[in-house]
Amino acid sequence: MSPTSQPSGLRRGARLAFLLIIVMLAAAVVVTSGIRTRVKTAAAVKQQTLDLAVPVVSVIHPKRGELRNEVVLPGNIQAYTDSPIYARASGYLKAWHTDIGARVKTGQLLAEIETPELDQQVRQARSGVQQAEAALEQSRANLQQGKTNEELARVTAQRWSNLTTRGAVSRQENDQYQAQYQSQVASVQALDKAVAAAQSNVGSAEANLSRLQEMQAFKMVKAPFDGVITVRNTDVGALINAGNSGPAQELFHMAATARLRVYVDVPQAYSRAAAAGVVADLTLAEFPGRHFSGKLVRTAESIDAATRTLLAEIEVNNASGELLPGAYAQVHLKLDTAAPSLVLPVSALLFRSEGLRVGIVRPGDEADLVPVTLGNDYGTEVEVVSGLAETDSVIVSPPDSLVSGAPVRVAPAVTPR
């Protein structure tokens, strides 16, 4: 090999080696850059995954409820006065003048009863009064005759006493006339007592007649108060028993409906607020959208140990007669509360095995599940009695997986346009 060709071969090899190194370096740079990009991408994905794992929540603050709380309770409507009408005179029903649904006034004739036996007793009692009065007149005549005889015996005794003093007659004859006078005095006293007894007999006979006449007045069955006939249990010709020889029969049933009583059982928690004068409204299914005004007038002043409720009476004006006794109604009591309550939407509640919970956001964006006690249910909202403060940030529609101490992100409030 010549000296000239040897150096050129070395230079060629050196260039090849340099190119190879450059290629290897370039490949290393490309590989390193790819690895770094992948690592960075994986870190970004990991961070994004962690960020997405933190739930974004919307929060609200509990709103303050009103000082007047409405409690809705079931109630039973009853007539203000509800009474069965019985007969006080036995006989046969002659006629009836009112049927069910008839509105009657006090003293209005409802039915007539034929009472032949009672009528005969009245006639007999009237004759008894006449006999007693005749006996009284006879006793008075006897008394007058006795007083006349007494006066004659007194005068005679006085004369014989004067004659005896002058010695004109014997003492024995004088004693006889004095004894006759004393006998006449005793006779007058007896006749006076007989007159008193006859007067008593007249009074007794008149009282018996008055009693029978009062019973005779019950032949006319009349309404004891203004109201409506709700039941008629008799008909013409029916035997009416006033209870003398068996159970009495109810002829009619009346109800006074111009005012109504509504009885409700108030839970013990509201018993102190359920006082006389509390406003109450009635709603009934047959009157959609209408409210009937009433007022609480009295309570039982005692908690029922079985139900832990207080019986309250609501008075409702029913002059129009639209409300019917015996109906079912929803009673809306407007009860005053000691302090304003807090109200939350139903969507803020979490039902857990350990009890009812509400999620709130603590400082540091951490969730905390707090137990709460509910009051009234208003449908889409509920009353919170305890467990929350008005300044708490309550999570709306919290996820079921939310636990205490979990990080959360509070979504910015949307300002309405």
pLDDT digits (tens, 9 = 90+) for 86-132: 988 888 999 999 999 999 999 999 999 999 989 999 999 999 999 99
- pLDDT category of residue 41 using cuts at 50, 70 and 90: low
Question: What is the rounded distance in angstroms from the CA atom of residue 409 to the CA atom of residue 164?
Answer: 144
Most confident stretch, 17-26, 227-236, 333-342:
227-236
pLDDT at 417: 45
- pLDDT category of residue 416 using cuts at 50, 70 and 90: very low
pLDDT at 110: 95
pTM exceeding the 0.75 threshold for the entire prediction: no
Question: Averaged over 144-172, what is the pLDDT?
Answer: 85
SS3 call for 384: strand
> What digits encode the pLDDT tens for the residues 169-208?
788 888 888 898 899 889 999 999 999 999 999 999 999 9
Question: What is the rounded distance in angstroms from the CA atom of residue 108 to the CA atom of residue 233?
Answer: 18
pLDDT at 245: 59
- pLDDT category of residue 390 using cuts at 50, 70 and 90: confident
Residue 191's beta-bridge partner residues? none
pLDDT at 267: 87
Strands (DSSP E) along 341-387, which ranges?
Answer: 342-345, 349-352, 355-362, 366-371, 373-377, 381-386
Sign of CA dihedral 179, 181, 182, 186: positive
Which fold would CATH assign to domain 255-336?
Answer: Elongation Factor Tu (Ef-tu); domain 3 (2.40.30)
Residue that wins the pLDDT comparison between 286 and 386: 286
pLDDT at 414: 47
Question: What is the rounded distance in angstroms from the CA atom of residue 338 to the CA atom of residue 144?
Answer: 87
Average pLDDT taken over every residue of the chain: 85
Contacts of 393 (CB under 8 A, 6+ apart): 59, 60, 61, 360, 361, 410
Q: What is the CATH code of the structural domain delimited by 341-410?
A: 2.40.420.20
Question: Averaged over 131-138, what is the pLDDT?
Answer: 92
Among 281-285, 317-321, 373-377, the minimum mean pLDDT is found in: 373-377
> What digits encode the pLDDT tens for the residues 229-286?
999 999 999 888 886 656 778 899 999 999 999 999 998 878 888 889 999 999 999 9
Question: Averaged over 386-409, what is the pLDDT?
Answer: 85
